[in-house]
Amino acid sequence: MSIYLDHNATARVRPEAIAAITNVLTHVGNPSSIHAAGRTARAVMEKAREDIGALIAAPASTVIFTSGGTEANAIAIESAVSAGAKRLIISAIEHDSIQETSRVLGVEVEVLPVDSNGVADLGWLRERLGRWDAVDGKPFVALMLANNETGVIQPVAEAAEIVRAADGWLHVDAIQAAGKIPVDSRALGADTLAISAHKLGGPQGVGALTFGPRATLSRRQHGGGQERGRRGGTENLPGIAGFGAAAVAARAGLDDYQARAAWRDAVAGRLKASGSVVMGEAAPRLPNTLCIAAPGFTSDLQVMGLDLAQVMVSAGSACSSGKVKASPVLTAMGQGDLAACVIRVSGGWDTTEAEWNRFADVWLEARARHAARRKEVA
């Protein structure tokens, strides 16, 4: 039986979400129509909006549906630039959707550094905002809640205090965190916060952005007056319904998710005994994520060896044009020399302790075989 341990890439869709999607697909109705079918569709959408808002402690009226986390991040960044931001501060560990969007808007981008565990340097942020030049407009800072590669949780609430003292705008990518740890967008001090359905057991192709009173959003997708005029286009009702159902299930299972950290830590201990290194080990991390480097045992060999044994994980480095490219996250942490030997193991809402243990068994066997081959060659 295959074991799927790549939930940070995409989680298995929850049965509650499948049921909600199927129900919507068997009915007709556009949420913008005013007849009975349209009103029924609208009710489904608004119920999902409330359920998703509850997951992140945000008023339903501030939740905008998008095509995914990438679009939600882009709306926040582009809105800040439209509102007058001429210089953006982006943490060194942000997702590509934030990094790339920031760099194509014609404004200056500065990098908020992180320490060796991948935690944002708030001393640097405080000093930088303390000498902010008014000609650069309202300060904009992007700091994700939890990193998708290492699982390291960032001190977002503390960063928000610094940003607010400078009258700035804080955007939080909570895409990996939502559904795995409690997320309170208002307590965190986020002016905008993005989440995505498929990371927490909903369908792919739907996300959401919540905004606070200090954020001025600009519409980037024009058309009708959907989403209170903030995003044109007929809403993806089946996806939204599945998103809402997944949010309800995820919220109910948060305590169980936290308890599973013990499974991850037990496996980490076994792999460390073989000489491996856990990325971000000294920092708070998501309970489902293990990013580990095995010096001398490349990521591709690890992933292929595990895949042959029907255990699915992801490499901790990206591949471009057939060449291994060091992860910017690990490079920012000063761990670039280990980037080619890193894998990310990420459990999900349906992962069992036995699956974590099976991964460790298979990995240790693969590691031993690799070491034996290297010894023979030597």
SS3 track for 168-179: CEEEEECCCCEC
Percent of the chain with pLDDT over 90: 85
- Residue 115: inside a domain, yes or no? yes
Average pLDDT over residues 6-12: 97
Reference 167, options 234, 233, 83, 47; nearest CA is: 83
Residue 151, token pair as written in the block: 């699982």
Query: Domain for residue 22, yes or no?
Result: yes
Catalytic residue among 319, 354, 368, 372: 319
Considering the entire predicted model, what is its pTM?
0.94
Together in a domain, 272 and 210:
no
Q: Kindly report, residue by residue over 254-292, the tens digit of the pLDDT.
A: 999 999 999 999 999 999 999 999 999 999 999 999 999
Q: For position 157, what pLDDT does the model report?
A: 98
pLDDT value, residue 316: 62
CATH code for the domain in which residue 265 is found:
3.90.1150.10
Structural domain ending residue among the three candidates 222, 252, 282: 252
- Decide if 38 contacts 232 (C-beta within 8 A): no
185 and 294 in a common domain:
no
- Residue of 186, 187, 92, 78 whose CA lies nearest to 140: 78
> Which pLDDT band holds residue 377 (cuts at 50, 70, 90)?
low
* 145 and 269 both lie in a single domain: no
Whole-number pLDDT of residue 327: 86
Q: Please check whether residue 376 lies inside any domain of the structure.
A: no
Is a pLDDT exceeding 80 seen at residue 320? Answer: no
User: Number of folded domains in the chain?
Assistant: 2
Is residue 23 a contact partner of residue 241, using CB atoms and an 8 Å limit?
A: yes
Q: Which residue has the higher pLDDT, 222 or 308?
A: 308
Check whether residue 285 and residue 367 sit in a common domain.
Answer: yes
Q: Based on the domain organization, do 20 and 7 belong to the same domain?
A: no
Q: Are residues 28 and 108 in the same domain?
A: yes
319 a catalytic residue:
yes
Q: Is the pLDDT of residue 295 over 70?
A: yes
Residue 58 sits in a domain whose CATH number is 3.40.640.10
Domain encompassing residue 274:
3-11+256-371
pLDDT for 143 equals 98
User: What is the structure's pLDDT at 325?
Assistant: 63
Question: Within this chain, do residues 244 and 277 fall inside the same structural domain, yes or no?
Answer: no
* 114-156 pLDDT per residue, tens: 999 999 999 999 999 999 988 888 999 999 999 999 999 999 9
Strand order in the sheet with 140-142: 63-66, 207-211, 192-196, 169-173, 140-142, 87-91, 108-112
Judge whether residue 373 has pLDDT over 80: yes
